Chain A
Amino acid sequence: MAALINVPSKAKRGDIIEIRTLTSHIMETGFRHTADGKLVPRNIITSFICRYNGAEVFRADLFPAIAANPYLSFFTVAKESGKFEFEWIGDNGYSSTASASITVE
């Protein structure tokens, strides 16, 4: 699925940087019914993980009350040049990944 990632392309060593992520997902709560009364099965993202050069720096659990197309922003410390990897995991075996690189001077 489409994802929008905002990671600064350059940072100074030791800087606190903000990372913003937005991904496409319907986040169906599992509490809604169709017009003919059938329950719409739950289909949400259940967890999000961000790894910085392989090491996990941020993790979040998501729940049915979270809006569609979840937006997450968080902070980390720029330590070394490399790659941020993002992973969204959800119901029905949903998995989506994205990555962004950073140069640390």
Chain B
Amino acid sequence: MISWRAIAAATLLAAAAPVLLAGEIPPDARRSGYAFMGADTRAMQDDDTSNPGMLFVLDGEALWAKKIGSADKACADCHGDAQSSMKGVAARYPAFDKALGRPVTLDQRIILCRANHQQATPLPYESRDLLALSAFIAHQSRGTPITAGDDPQAKPFVEQGRVLYMQRAGQLNLACTNCHDDNFDKRLAGAPITQAQPTGYPLYRLEWQTLGSLERRLRSCMSGVRAQAYDYGSPELVALELYLMSRAHGLPMETPAVRP
């Protein structure tokens, strides 16, 4: 009797678990890029006075309170204290925007907010101020489990991102999945191949010597496989970003992370 119950329970569990496609990483085997780094780089990320990303968080904190644009409003005038109002927000991004009918990234949300509510000059992608603001906002979610892509309206875009992730591209004819699902823990030109879990963006890359967005990271992977990189803010990059975040579901946010 007992064994029959066990089998029945096991069948039920199997039915309830999300369907994994070939090559995808099971949820309990997912690891942040942090787990692939050396002890020195981990120590650099862990200590807020040695983490260079914190310099951008400080700049972002100042920008949060600065009145700008023809509306003469600061972010803080509408959103108040970021510590409470922005807690957990970045873990939900890219999020579906009803007015636009498509998902927007955190950077795009800041750009939209500046245009609509502050009537200020737009910040270009990867500009220092935009990165500082998004680092400051995402830092408020440090430790929060990622939930992006849970919104049913975002599902078609998650699926679009998944297709792009699985699609071979470039002269090297590689898809994201060929390295990040099938070959993580191995090395590429001496550097560890990670699982591509975007837990700490915007993050400080020692190679860049500055903070950078997930889009910058995706674009450099694309030029790595000799493909034509999508433009910043393009629907394809947003979809990929959304899929990657949904793939990292439940992993804690680390912003600002440090990576080699």
Contacts and interface: CB of A to CB of B under 8 A. Distances in A.
A23 B50 CA distance: 10
B137 interface: no
Nearest to A20: B49
B210 interface: yes
A4 interface: yes
A57 interface: no
Contacts of A4: 48-50, 54-55, 58
Contacts of B181: none
Nearest to B48: A4
- Which of A5, A26, A69, A71 gathers most chain B CB within 10 Å? A69
Contacts of A68: 52, 209-210
A69 B209 contact: yes
Contacts of B54: 4, 22
A4 B206 CA distance: 18
A23 B49 CA distance: 10
Given A68-B210, A69-B209, A2 B59 contact: yes
A22 B59 contact: no
A6 B51 CA distance: 12
A82 B210 CA distance: 34
Interface of A: 2-6, 20, 22-24, 26-27, 67-69, 71
